[in-house]
């Protein structure tokens, strides 16, 4: 029997973050699709919660792309004001840049991978969930569309797979085995399919 006196696992802060994320990303779509971007944020949040993440990590999952894609430093200040230092730090750890225009892709990703090698367990959990959801979507798209999926991205197949392998290496021992093993399986399947 479940106790009715237990404190809720997710508070009004989570509800506020959900609304804030929906507002920030309301006109954003998933790359190369008509799918609202919020679907990705909800999926990443679900993976974080299913992996045992706490409320701050769940809020960070909802907001993990907010600074990078929706306002940079100003959005970071608002996240800090609304949700506190820990959430802001986790979002920082998941962001590979805060400026526009973004720095060149290769150097930005190399710096982010270097940062992930020293990431906190919370940053590692949210990043692993983010990459896992993205990779699962790529794999599903690949099964439907084949090699055409790589044209959705500014970088080609080789670079994208390099980044996913680098993420796995950088997060090794920091995120849960469950998330990393799932990510490794999906990346291996993408590599296998794209070689045939």
The residues annotated as belonging to the active site are 68-69
Q: Please list the residues that pair with 29 across neighbouring strands.
A: 36
The answer to whether 127 touches 167, Cβ cutoff 8 Å, is yes
Q: Please list the residues that pair with 36 across neighbouring strands.
A: 29
The DSSP string of the chain is ---SSSPPSS-HHHHHHHHHHHHHTTT-B-TTSSSBTHHHHHHHHHHHHHTT--HHHHHHHHHTTHHHHTTHHHHHHHHHHHH-HHHHHHHHHH-S--SSSPPPHHHHHHHHHHHHTT--HHHHHHHHHHHHHHHHHHHHHHHHHGGGGGGGSSS-HHHHHHHHHHHHHHHTTTS-HHHHHHHHHHHHHHHHHHH-
Q: Please list the residues that pair with 166 across neighbouring strands.
A: none
């Amino acid at each position: 029997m479940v106790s009715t006196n237990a404190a809720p696992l997710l508070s009004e802060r989570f509800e506020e973050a959900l609304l804030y994320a929906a507002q920030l990303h309301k006109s954003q779509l998933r790359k190369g699709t008509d799918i609202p971007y919020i679907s990705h944020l909800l999926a990443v949040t679900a993976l974080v919660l299913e992996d045992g993440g706490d409320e701050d990590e769940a809020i960070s999952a909802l907001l993990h792309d907010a600074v990078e894609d929706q306002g940079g430093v100003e959005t970071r200040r608002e996240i800090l004001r609304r949700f506190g230092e820990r959430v802001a730090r986790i979002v920082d750890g998941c962001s590979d840049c805060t400026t526009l225009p973004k720095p060149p892709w290769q150097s930005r990703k190399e710096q982010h991978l270097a940062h992930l090698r020293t990431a906190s367990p919370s940053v590692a959990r949210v990043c692993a969930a983010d990459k896992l959801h993205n990779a699962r979507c790529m794999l599903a798209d690949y099964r439907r569309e084949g090699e055409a999926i790589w044209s959705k991205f500014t970088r080609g197949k080789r670079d994208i797979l390099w980044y996913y392998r680098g993420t796995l290496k950088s997060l090794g021992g920091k995120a849960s085995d469950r998330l990393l093993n799932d990510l490794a399986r999906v990346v291996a399947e993408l590599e296998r399919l794209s070689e045939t």
